[in-house]
Amino acid sequence: MKLKSVLMAALISLSFLPTKADEGMWLPLLLGELNEAEMQAMGMRITAQDIYDANNSSIKDAIVHFGGFCTGEMISPEGLLLTNHHCGYGAIQSHSSVENDYLTDGYWAKNKGQELPNEGLYAMFIKYIVDVTDEVLQELPAGVSEEDREKLIQKIGEGFVEQETEGTHYGGYVRSFFNGNQFFMFITETFPDVRLVGAPPSSIGKYGADTDNWMWPRHTGDFSLFRVYMGPDGLPAEYSEDNVPYRPKHHLPISLKGYEPGDFSMVFGFPGRTQEYLPSVAIEQLTAEVNPARIELREEALAIMDKYMRADDEIRIQYASSFASIANYWKKWIGENTGLRESRAIERKRNAEADFRQKVSEMKNFKDEANIFAEYEKLYNKQLPYALARNYYVELGFRMLKTPGYALDWADVVNAKSGEDRDEAIAKLKADLDAHFKNYSELVEHDLWEKLVPFYASQVNDTYLAESLVALKGENMDAKISSMFYDSYITQPQKLKELLEGSPKKVAKKISKDPIYQLSMDMYSAYRSKVYGEYYGIEAELDLLHRRYMKALMAAFPDSTFYPDANSTLRVTYGQVKGFAPKDAVSYQHYTTMDGLVAKYVPGDYEFDLPKRMLELANERNYGQYANENGELPICFIAANHTTGGNSGSPALDADGNLIGLNFDRAWEGTMSDINYDVRRCRNIMVDARYILWTVDVFAGAGYLLDEMTLVRKPVEEPEEAVAE
Ligand code: ARG
Ligand code: GLU
């Protein structure tokens, strides 16, 4: 008994000891110093310099930030780019209509002339990275306030980048690491002409949709293909017919060799945000208050959208992206809460915090930090009501409802200083009218207003709400909102179009009295005046604590290797391909197969239907050259690689740096890895490269795309005589 509790305590306080493999998202330029030895001990056969080299071509030259929200990689010398289906989703949706439904049916360009341009989409490469910590700190005046510090760093960073890139077409940014204790500059090259080349039907690319999202075992072929174009002079250029395919300095060979459990694997990409050094009090609030609140609100919105999407194809296409993005984090937060509880994250943090207090109280320079958790608690408690009010408003006003943001645009008309300004603002809104209402259904928006706004008003304390909203509270609040919706112009495209036929003066007058315009503006001003300032004021105080805490932590445990939280910068994470056992008596294998995919098939279902051709090919076991040694077609696999949102589309590489898979998700049991990584339950999920190639080649008959790729096969065993010769 005694021994067991000693062991438990040892396990729980492991969190500040040197991180070993699996956990951590590492900066490519520091791999040689911090990670190479361990990576090679785990089986990697290449060097840190093969992965990142500022001067010669290296693997990093194949990695792009895809539109700033996902990762993509070069898989041919002609700029062919691989990313997830859900990353290309917005682009695929924008080319889709009820007649040409590429979301449902997929799309394969037969030649370069059929590759489809996407306004606003870009591919950004990292040229090189520089540690500018000393330079930034030198420029920062002593005693600068926390709020000014952030702005100043921003400005200093911009200056550095400008100086560094002068006379080139490069761009860049400086980002802060370890909560404002270190700074790195990233020099970038951005290509704005990125065209859609291929996408499987959603029944493959989104197989299992939201039921299977964040789940293992998984069978989703979550990939799509794009191509990066450049100007004829080799420089980045906006879309033009004269543009030619980009020629990357490196493209990833694709391996058909597969993997075994225990094999080394690494993921290279742009993880968005993690918070691995949060104090226990913050995790308590997140699990008890913040996550439940946002989960509940999203649940309400999803139910409404789902009802209409299932009934109407046009609405299904219009709301596909927005539904997917709301559903995604709704489900992630549920998994996160469960995972934090089951991994005993709060207890583990509390123990680590006790160790920390003990250590720093004996250190001359960090004595004050022994009290830091009391300070944390005070600030987090003070911030909580604002955090909740902010969350509700931002979710409702900027994510779920399309009109509050639109009302802000109309404010330019209502508040115009001159007739000229007013006319100009109206002209702009007129030009944007179709775009605003493209993915808009009155039926859906009406129900969202009618149900979510009363819900919001019931959940948030009146102190933080607009007075006009509070005045609507009561028994038939939903009926009142409903009639306001139908009395409004800005919620109804037809009515608004008719109004816009009239004189600008009349338009401005009508909108200024529009009930939904008024309510939207009131809600916005209440948020700005009663919530925003307080919330961010406390946030700045917290930032200072985070910075002090991190600095003290690194000083208190000098033998530990710390890794910085994700911040949308380029990182490498590595570990092993392996299954896991998340709970008593349950254990998962490391890969799935076509047999398992077909076993999930539900004819006609919107999540688990399959194309007839797929069923036929599976039935014939027509797996081409893509079967594994057991004659199965592998579909997805998992590894202990520490990833997060933004790592979607990142390549999974083997010990030789060849692509074996495409990262697209994490297993639900481990979604708390953003806050508390635990190798026993955290796994990232990848599509097997062989399934991707099978889909392109055998299923879609687009094998011509494989001609430009570099495929790596198992060495063929030569017959004895041939060797003897
Ligand atoms: N969970 C994955 C990620 O975080 C995939 C999301 C795709 N969206 C969806 N609702 N299925 O991005
Ligand atoms: N699907 C996520 C993305 O879009 C990656 C999964 C994760 O959060 O780990 O980046």
Determine, yes or no, domain membership for 160. Answer: yes
Domain assignment present for residue 603? The answer is no
Provide the domain limits for residue 218.
62-251
Rounded Cα–Cα distance for residues 192 and 213 (Å): 30
| 403 touches ligand 2 (CB under 6 Å) | no
- Identify whether 222 is a catalytic site residue: yes
Please report the pLDDT score of residue 385 as a whole number. 97
Within this chain, do residues 352 and 418 fall inside the same structural domain, yes or no? yes
Candidate list 58, 648, 650, 673, residue with the active-site label: 648
In a domain, 597, yes or no: no
Is residue 611 included in any domain, yes or no? no
In this structure, are residues 65 and 124 in contact, taking their beta carbons and an 8 Å threshold?
yes
User: What is the tally of structural domains in the chain?
Assistant: 2
Let me know whether 287 and 328 are in one domain.
yes
Q: Is the CB of 101 under 6 A from ligand 2?
A: no
In a domain, 438, yes or no: yes
Report which protein residue has its CA nearest ligand 1's atom 3.
Answer: 665
- 556, 582, 612 - which closes a domain: 556
DSSP conformation class of 173: E
Residues 174 and 111 in one domain: yes
Determine if residue 22 is left, alpha or beta; phi over 0 gives left, psi from -120 to 50 gives alpha, anything else beta: left
314, 92, 122: which is closest to 205 by C-alpha? 92
Examine the domain organization and report whether 298 and 366 are in the same domain: yes
286 and 234 in a single domain? The answer is: no
Domain final residue, candidates 251, 272, 302: 251
How much is the pLDDT for 717?
64
In a shared domain, residues 463 and 550: yes
By most ligand atoms within 8 Å of CB, the mutation choice from 642, 647, 662, 672 for ligand 2 is: 647
Contact 673, 652 (CB under 8 A): no
Do 246 and 325 sit in the same domain of this protein? no
The alpha carbon of 648 and the centre of ligand 2 are apart by a number of angstroms equal to 5
Ranges of the chain whose pLDDT falls below 70: 1-21, 717-725
Residues 241 and 303 in one domain: no
Ligand 1 pocket (Cβ < 6 Å) reads: 86, 209-210, 213-214, 324, 327-328, 645, 648, 664-665
d(CA 202, CA 695): 12
**Is the CB of residue 154 less than 8 Å from the CB of residue 170?**
no
Q: Are residues 245 and 289 in the same domain?
A: no
Q: Is 311 part of a structural domain of the chain?
A: yes
Give the residue whose CA is nearest to atom 2 of ligand 2.
645
Q: Are residues 197 and 73 in the same domain?
A: yes
Last residue of a domain, one of 556, 575, 600: 556
Rounded distance from Cα 328 to ligand 1 centre (Å): 5
Q: Please, which residues have CB within 8 angstroms of residue 91's CB and are 6 or more apart in sequence?
A: 116, 118, 121, 196, 226
pLDDT of residue 724: 42
Q: Ligand 2 in contact with 573 (CB < 6 A)?
A: no
| Residue 334 φ then ψ, to 5° | -65, -45
What is the predicted pLDDT for the residue at 583?
87
Dist. CA 8–CA 31, nearest whole Å:
32
Pocket residue to mutate for ligand 1, from 103, 220, 306, 665, most atoms within 8 A of Cβ = 665
Q: Cβ(648) to ligand 2 under 6 A? A: yes
Cis amide linkage into residue 217, ω under 30° from 0? yes
Is 86 part of the annotated catalytic residue set? Answer: yes
Active site residue 648: yes
Q: Look at residue 13 in the predicted model and tell me its pLDDT.
A: 41
